[in-house]
Structure 1
Amino acid sequence: MMKALRWLGSLALAIAVAAPAFADVDARIGGTVRDQSNAFVAGAKVSIRNERTGEQRAAVTNEQGYFLIGALKPSSYTIKAEQTGFAPIEYTSMTLAVGQELTLDFELKPAGLQEAVTVVGSAPVLDLSSARIGVNVSTREVDGLPVNGRQMSQLLLQAPGSLNSGTGTWQDIRFSGRAVEQNVIRYDGIEGSAIIDAAPGNLNGEIATPFKLQASLENVQEFRVESSSYAAEYGTGTGGQVSVVTKSGSNMVHGSAFEYVRSDKFDAPNYFDTAAGLPKSALEQNQYGGSIGGPVARDRAFFFGSYEAYRLDAGLNFVEATPSDAAWARAVPQIAALRPGFLAPGAVILAGKSSNPDFEIAQLQGTQQVREHALSARVDVKINNMWSTYVRVFHDQGTNDQPEGVTGRSVHITDNPTNAVWNLQGLLSDNTTNEFKLGYNAAPTQIEGRAPTINGVDFSRIVLNLSGSVANTGIAGQGASSGIGIPGGLVRANSATNGHAQPYDPYSLTFADTVSRVDGNHYVKAGGEVRLIRMATDRIGGTTYTFANVTSFLANQAQSVQYLGDVSEPSVFNGGATGQRHIRQNYLVGYAQDELRVRPNVTLNYGVRYDYYTPLREQDNLIVKFNIDTGAIDPNTTPLYTSRKGNLQPRISATVSPDRKTVVRGGFGMFVGPGQTEDQIQPVESDRISSTLSNSAFPIDAQLLRSNFVNNPNNRSYQPRAYANEYTIPERIYQYTASVQREIGMSMVATAALRRQPGAQLVPPQRRQPNHAGRHESESRDRRVRHP
């Protein structure tokens, strides 16, 4: 044990002085070699060969007959054990999955009794390496399981502790009761989030993505999901940890081509559409593409490339209330001019369906159009027998256009993520390996609301909200309520405001390195990561008019009018600064861990991890930091929140296998996460003109309001979003787990697990908005809010 602790200390010090370190896709092959009398065979040579690429590694058993070969790529391997005086044994076609420790026991027989034995093996079902709870999703499952839209996120539901809280997209999958914002996904060890949110493809932290190919299944070889109790090498989030291994070339040329089609031509008519005399909802969904990989030079260099396209034309049916002719007859002139904006061309009035004479029920059948193209390329090179490298990049380009209601408003979305990695891996000695990664992850998105200009009114920069709903008779016996149509081109900007457009252009750079060493019965790993997060963003605002009811609307008596300027406009608070805002944040991570094989059936895994997340900031301090305790704006050099530095996270677990078909596990660990960027960015987005007026009317004089905002700082009706002063990161949980796993035959496993996870700093930042009377109003986004 002391020897292992010295290794942990020395490796951790080496990381602190030299390069940062990290790895996520490490797989291992280990086991014991015995003779016929069940005695350990020391000094036996165990060699392995990657059957896809020809790469070879070897190890020698220790005095207890134990061997371990780490830092292996997921692949199919041939494994051979041999010793002088004994007949060799060879296992072929042994599949090694991402993050897996494959345990094999060899029984050597004297050379004179038998010739060499070759066995086509199957991997053990049970994992003895740690108390982690998770699942490997193999190449066969990735290729064969039916998934609507070929969206990888739906395969995550195979992991124990997973939960689909919505439609099965990235932002709907939770693990062990943790928030989706605390999940972590990595492609070949490089983070693959949307940066503004943990879910790939998420749009400004609020809107679910309509896109499917941020991680095209055509690029995915396999992946592993860690639900809980993972080792110190995993972190930067307290939720699930998803490690994806992308496809690479091999010594054989291989490829694929596919097309999947869904069409309304294959659908039966919907009963309710038929009863209403409507045609079937339109649906044309096509996904097609292919991939090819193979050798550039046999056993030395390989290539892989893929392309996938996703095309969707889907019918959307809207049924909403709109003011009737009788209501419009009472409208004042300013409001009467807005009438064309309440009913889009192509929308129809459903005569006699409204129970309220001031409203009619309108229906619009529109079409959502999605176009997406995903490309990937990878090149692997074996430099020599000690070192290898690869470069991998994939890029997705998507556009979405869809109507938003009977008024004709629509939303246009673009999402163009890119993820790339350069990896260098090699042997520092016979039992020590090093792996370095340089990664790039970018997730530029834009959401833009669209609406026409009618009677001189630009609807794209306004929204008209009439409160309430209207009962409609519908089909006999199927009565329901319809919401009131909302004209205007503003869309959801964040949890508190609307806006015309929200461009985000974030990226992260990752520098990571991992050192691993086999020393007797110890497998020691130490590593670290430096992640630089950068983001340019803007907020294009607009005006939201809210009316208490239709009578107030027709009389032009607005309950409230919220005016939001653009962040890129000259700043009232920061010396007239203009342009996009530029966000900066850094992650610093280090860990050390040891996997000790106490006995062939007993494993102890212990380690410690350290995470520090610098407070998010704007590079030129262009912020508005409103202090909810004093009611004043703090200096723009004030940190946005507190980020603790003492974030050591001990983790320990034990695994015992009383027989070959049963594993008992238990563990404890502390886990931290950085919180959600969309929450933390609010003071940056508050650097603009923002004013809410009561008892106003349409249209407001925007220039007069802006002039008053600039010249009358004590009467601005300003509503910045703000944190509670005690808001602190990282979020932190403590996790205790115990589980029993039993192999029940036919490669099936039954698992029973108990998990407890108290937490701290899990309450989101409280945001208070001062109103014109000097009071403070709190808001939250479907989360608990703590009031001081």
Structure 2
Amino acid sequence: MKPALPYIVLLILVAASALIAQTTTGSVTGTVTDPSGAAMANVKISATNVATGVPFPAETNAAGVYSILFLPPGAYNVSAETRGFKKSVLGPLHLEVNQIARVDIAMEVGDLTQAVDVIAVAPILQTESVATGDTITSTKLTSLPLNGRNFATLLILIPGAITTYPSNMSTSGRFQGSGSRPQVNGNREQTNNFLLDGVDVNDSANNRIGYQPNVDALEEVKVLTGNAGAEFGNVGGASVIMTLKGGTNSFHGNAFKFLRNEKLDANGFFANRSGVPRTALRRNIFGGTLGGPLRRNRAFFFIDYEGTEQHTAGPALASVAPAAWRSGDPSPLLTLGEIVRDPLTLASFPGNIIPQARIANPVAAKLFSSPDLYPLPNNLGVGPLGVTNNYMADARSRLSNHQADAKGDWRPSGKDTISGRWSNQPL
């Protein structure tokens, strides 16, 4: 066992370095001063999550500076207290992923037991980082129109982002790996990087979004479009950081159902004028979320589910053999210089007509004599012989998808946080 110990230690160190690079949290920093503006050392600081009640403690150094790292995104109240001064509370402030929020605190002389002063915090400017981008909050995700509930559609609202295939940002593209994604600042769409709770969720085939959670389950989507930190140095386009919601001290959740049916849609003007019926589209998206405490101020859970059932229909074109060809008379091919030859002797058939005796394959004979299995042309084809796209049919397709997430957070002590997530989407 002893020879294996160095390798185990090395593996732990390598894993730890990888975990550090996964940016899923934010931080708060600032300076604490007295009424004269002098820095105050040894002031107890606490950033308390409003939803969970979990405190994250810190203390100012000799220069009066404090830093609280690895804070999950959410709303926080920042408090400062020391002997001889009133306890000050600033908040709530909303902290985003990868954000370094600066909150300076000016203390007032007074009794520590006096009433707490809760001071509203102005919108925080990003002064500790040069990264540019935007954040799509959960309110935007659930309030703005989303055809097919594909959050990637909202990415093109970010400054510098465009797409040449907006129609591909649909329900089917979301699940089948064919969906579009934005081109940011002139970069190719393959140069984006997508992360969910710090884990890479890119489709390795073409760098698409490999997994998209239910939008009701997303806390926020942070989009970095320029000057991103070294931890996002994998790509030249945008870094899209998705964060799943977590549980709180109160139970919360929702249920939803979205319906689309062609019977509720108006027909297009020209289609209606030509007597063409509405294209069939029946889509049902349903699901819900639930979160709450397992132990107040200590352990929390969050789960979500979303199901999608979609049925579509529309015209589809195909090329089939004309009736004469099925009986052995593809003689029109001669006009193109195409000669039909005997596969056994390679000799050409006179007039390009195949004798009936040579059509001996029972499978071919059955197909050629059964229009229900191999239909005859019903459409005016294109091309020199009119056999290309000479068959039109009503093609029907079905999309069925069911996905779920489960997340747990545990705060065993004031300095430790353990989180885990499980996501499932059958292929």
TM superposition score normalised by structure 1: 0.43
Q: Which runs of 5+ in 2 are unaligned?
A: 1-9, 174-178, 332-352
- What is the alpha-carbon distance in structure 1 between the residues aligned to residue 223 and residue 298 of structure 2? 31
Is it true that 1:137 corresponds to 2:136 in the alignment?
A: yes
Is it true that 1:197 corresponds to 2:210 in the alignment?
A: no
Q: Determine if contact 2:30/2:67 at 8 Å carries over to the other structure.
A: yes
Q: Determine if contact 2:247/2:293 at 8 Å carries over to the other structure.
A: yes
Q: 1:344 to 1:269 in 2, by over 3 A?
A: farther
Partner of residue 443, structure 1: none
Q: Determine if contact 1:45/1:81 at 8 Å carries over to the other structure.
A: yes
- What is the alpha-carbon distance in structure 2 between the residues aligned to residue 104 and residue 273 of structure 1? 60
Shift of 1:283: 0.7
- What is the alpha-carbon distance in structure 1 between the residues aligned to residue 35 and residue 213 of structure 2? 49
Which has the larger share of strand? 1
Find the structure with the greater CA-based Rg.
2
Q: 1:279 to 1:129 in 2, by over 3 A?
A: same
- What is the alpha-carbon distance in structure 1 between the residues aligned to residue 93 and residue 276 of structure 2? 57
- What is the alpha-carbon distance in structure 1 between the residues aligned to residue 157 and residue 100 of structure 2? 20
Shift of 1:239: 2.5
Q: Determine if contact 2:214/2:304 at 8 Å carries over to the other structure.
A: no
Is it true that 1:251 corresponds to 2:249 in the alignment?
A: yes
- What is the alpha-carbon distance in structure 1 between the residues aligned to residue 376 and residue 120 of structure 2? 65
- What is the alpha-carbon distance in structure 2 between the residues aligned to residue 341 and residue 275 of structure 1? 36
Matching residue within 294, 299, 305 for 1:301: 299
Shift of 1:344: 7.5
- What is the alpha-carbon distance in structure 1 between the residues aligned to residue 379 and residue 63 of structure 2? 82
CA deviations 1:553-602 (Å, max 9, x no partner) are xxxxxxxxxxxxxxxxxxxxxxxxxxxxxxxxxxxxxxxxxxxxxxxxxx
Partner of residue 341, structure 2: none
Q: Determine if contact 1:218/1:308 at 8 Å carries over to the other structure.
A: no
Partner of residue 577, structure 1: none
Q: Determine if contact 1:326/1:357 at 8 Å carries over to the other structure.
A: no
Is it true that 1:117 corresponds to 2:117 in the alignment?
A: yes
How do 1:333-412 and structure 2 match up within 5 A? 333=354, 349-350=378-379, 358-359=386-387, 361-397=390-426
Q: Determine if contact 2:30/2:102 at 8 Å carries over to the other structure.
A: yes
Shift of 1:286: 0.8
- What is the alpha-carbon distance in structure 2 between the residues aligned to residue 318 and residue 289 of structure 1? 33
Matching residue within 182, 191, 216 for 1:182: 191
- What is the alpha-carbon distance in structure 2 between the residues aligned to residue 64 and residue 85 of structure 1? 19
- What is the alpha-carbon distance in structure 2 between the residues aligned to residue 357 and residue 79 of structure 1? 78
Partner of residue 284, structure 1: 282
- What is the alpha-carbon distance in structure 1 between the residues aligned to residue 314 and residue 273 of structure 2? 18
Q: Determine if contact 1:264/1:283 at 8 Å carries over to the other structure.
A: yes
Partner of residue 51, structure 1: 50
Shift of 1:317: 2.2
- What is the alpha-carbon distance in structure 1 between the residues aligned to residue 396 and residue 15 of structure 2? 56
Partner of residue 240, structure 1: 238
Partner of residue 222, structure 1: 220
Which amino acid in the other structure matches residue 223 of structure 2?
A: V
- What is the alpha-carbon distance in structure 2 between the residues aligned to residue 148 and residue 215 of structure 1? 15
Other structure's SS at 1:46 match: strand
- What is the alpha-carbon distance in structure 2 between the residues aligned to residue 326 and residue 355 of structure 1? 18
- What is the alpha-carbon distance in structure 2 between the residues aligned to residue 140 and residue 384 of structure 1? 32
Shift of 1:265: 1.2
- What is the alpha-carbon distance in structure 2 between the residues aligned to residue 341 and residue 265 of structure 1? 35
Which amino acid in the other structure matches residue 71 of structure 1?
A: F
Partner of residue 338, structure 2: none
Q: Determine if contact 2:26/2:71 at 8 Å carries over to the other structure.
A: yes
Shift of 1:182: 2.8
Which amino acid in the other structure matches residue 330 of structure 1?
A: P
- What is the alpha-carbon distance in structure 2 between the residues aligned to residue 17 and residue 287 of structure 1? 42
How do 1:152-167 and structure 2 match up within 5 A? 152-167=151-166
Partner of residue 64, structure 2: 65
Partner of residue 348, structure 2: none
Q: 1:340 to 1:286 in 2, by over 3 A?
A: farther
Which amino acid in the other structure matches residue 107 of structure 1?
A: A
Partner of residue 349, structure 2: none
- What is the alpha-carbon distance in structure 2 between the residues aligned to residue 232 and residue 151 of structure 1? 29
Other structure's SS at 1:233 match: helix
Q: Determine if contact 1:77/1:93 at 8 Å carries over to the other structure.
A: yes
Q: Which runs of 5+ in 1 are unaligned?
A: 1-12, 202-212, 398-414, 416-788
Indicate the RMSD between aligned Cα atoms, in angstroms.
Answer: 3.3
Q: Determine if contact 1:92/1:119 at 8 Å carries over to the other structure.
A: yes
Q: Determine if contact 1:377/1:392 at 8 Å carries over to the other structure.
A: yes
Q: Determine if contact 1:381/1:389 at 8 Å carries over to the other structure.
A: yes
- What is the alpha-carbon distance in structure 2 between the residues aligned to residue 324 and residue 107 of structure 1? 88
Which amino acid in the other structure matches residue 197 of structure 2?
A: D
Shift of 1:316: 2.5
Q: Determine if contact 1:165/1:172 at 8 Å carries over to the other structure.
A: no
Which has the larger share of helix? 2
Which amino acid in the other structure matches residue 264 of structure 2?
A: F
- What is the alpha-carbon distance in structure 2 between the residues aligned to residue 355 and residue 19 of structure 1? 63
Which amino acid in the other structure matches residue 117 of structure 1?
A: D
Other structure's SS at 1:150 match: coil
Q: 1:42 to 1:270 in 2, by over 3 A?
A: same
Q: 1:89 to 1:149 in 2, by over 3 A?
A: same
Partner of residue 4, structure 2: none
Is it true that 1:20 corresponds to 2:29 in the alignment?
A: no
